[in-house]
Amino acid sequence: MKKITNLYLCILLSVGFTTIEAQTRNTLEFDATDAASLVDCGTSASYSPAVFTAEAWVNIYAGGGGTIMSNVQYIDGGDGSRGFTIRLNGQKAEFNMGVGVANGNWFTTTANNDLPLNTWTHVAVVYDGSKAEVFYNGVSEGSQMGNNPILVSQLNFYLGEHPTWSDRRLSGQLSDVRIWNVARTAGEIQASMASFLTGSETGLVANWKLDEGSGTTAEEQVNLTSATLGAGTTWQLNTSLSIHDELLQKSFSIYPNPSNGVFKVESSINEMVSYDIYTITGQLVKTGSLSKIVDSIDLSDKSNGLYILKGTLEGKHFVKKMIVN
């Protein structure tokens, strides 16, 4: 039998799949009912790179919607569609990229699943020149093939609002917004999403941590410029930022682990729990549900290696590693 490699173990430790500890940081809250609820980050051609990744921690409220980030420029019969936006389509994160001067030239990719309400989720979009992909917490939520290049926007980059179409504001909170001029992998996203960056990372174009906690500006970490907060934004101090429920995490155990592919799952709660299982690169390989105090999962038809189980119960999540050898 093959043994799990040290590389897998290093990835596991660096990504922190088994637990992503709750962090305390300051965050910024947006009020969709207030026309001044936005952050104006200024304008730069570097905010519309030909190949890019955009990331943010997002916590949306019930009844909310709107724009997470955008510099989309749109004029019928004129500049057409330029720049990009990450917005909410219902509760699904949706990525729109402007690729042409004609009416309606958009390249759109929508996540397969809703974002949970009142829960912090890391949202990322990646465009590598031929494919756009949406990620929740570093796991793929859907992709779309297309090779039309993004057209550079001349408008300011906004957080929580749209620079072209007003009144599409976010109801919720944001933290740690990033733009890169490289297409990041699932593993790279997972490895750094839970920690603040230094600002000197290769390919990082802009990073607004949104951690100041006071004042009317948010500092951009790469170029050391200041974004302007609208009066409708509010600092939330010492926010607990976590992507999983600690009690739920402790309620489940998996054994034997490693195994030959057949795992027992033991729970201290008698509830139906749905699960998705992914490879270390974020590929979904199995879905199902656990309905007993002791249940089983069979991965004996899968290749040897590390797998990640994400369980969900009433909008709360837990994450466990599973090793087939």
pTM of the predicted model as reported, rounded to 2 decimal places = 0.74
Q: Find, among 83, 86, 87, the residue nearest to 154 by Cα.
A: 83
* Residue 246, H or E segment: helix 246-250
Residue 103 is predicted with a pLDDT of: 60
DSSP code for 132: E
As a whole number of angstroms, the distance between CA 27 and CA 251 comes to 30
Residue 320 is predicted with a pLDDT of: 86
**For the chain, what are the domain ranges?**
6-12+244-324, 23-241
Q: Do 13 and 142 form a contact (C-beta atoms < 8 A)?
A: no
CA within 13 Å, CB half, 311 = 28
Instruction: Quick: pLDDT tens for 156-215.
Output: 999 999 998 888 899 999 999 999 999 999 889 988 998 899 999 999 999 999 999 999
Residue 244 is predicted with a pLDDT of: 57
Q: Which residues are paired to 297 by β-bridges?
A: 263
Residue 108 is predicted with a pLDDT of: 93
Residue 3 is predicted with a pLDDT of: 36
Residue 13 is predicted with a pLDDT of: 32
Residue 2 is predicted with a pLDDT of: 34
CATH no., domain 6-12+244-324: 2.60.40.3080
- In this prediction, the residues of the chain whose per-residue pLDDT falls under 70 are 1-22, 64, 76-79, 101-104, 242-247, 281, 315
Q: Which residues are paired to 220 by β-bridges?
A: 208
Residue 292 is predicted with a pLDDT of: 79
Compute, in degrees rounded to 10, the torsion defined by CA atoms 279, 128, 123, 17: 30
Q: What's the start-to-end Cα distance of the chain, in Å? A: 6
CA within 13 Å, CB half, 204 = 22
Residue 191 is predicted with a pLDDT of: 84
CA dist list (Å): 41 to 92, 267, 302: 24, 47, 46
Residue 167 is predicted with a pLDDT of: 85
What class is the 23-241 domain? Answer: mainly beta
Residue bearing tokens 């465009």: 127
As a whole number of angstroms, the distance between CA 270 and CA 242 comes to 24
| Neighbouring residues of 192: CB distance < 8 A, sequence distance ≥ 6 | 201
As a whole number of angstroms, the distance between CA 200 and CA 182 comes to 14
As a whole number of angstroms, the distance between CA 255 and CA 236 comes to 41
Residue 5 is predicted with a pLDDT of: 33
DSSP code for 157: P
Residue 7 is predicted with a pLDDT of: 34
Question: Residue 194, Cα to own-chain centre: how many angstroms?
Answer: 11
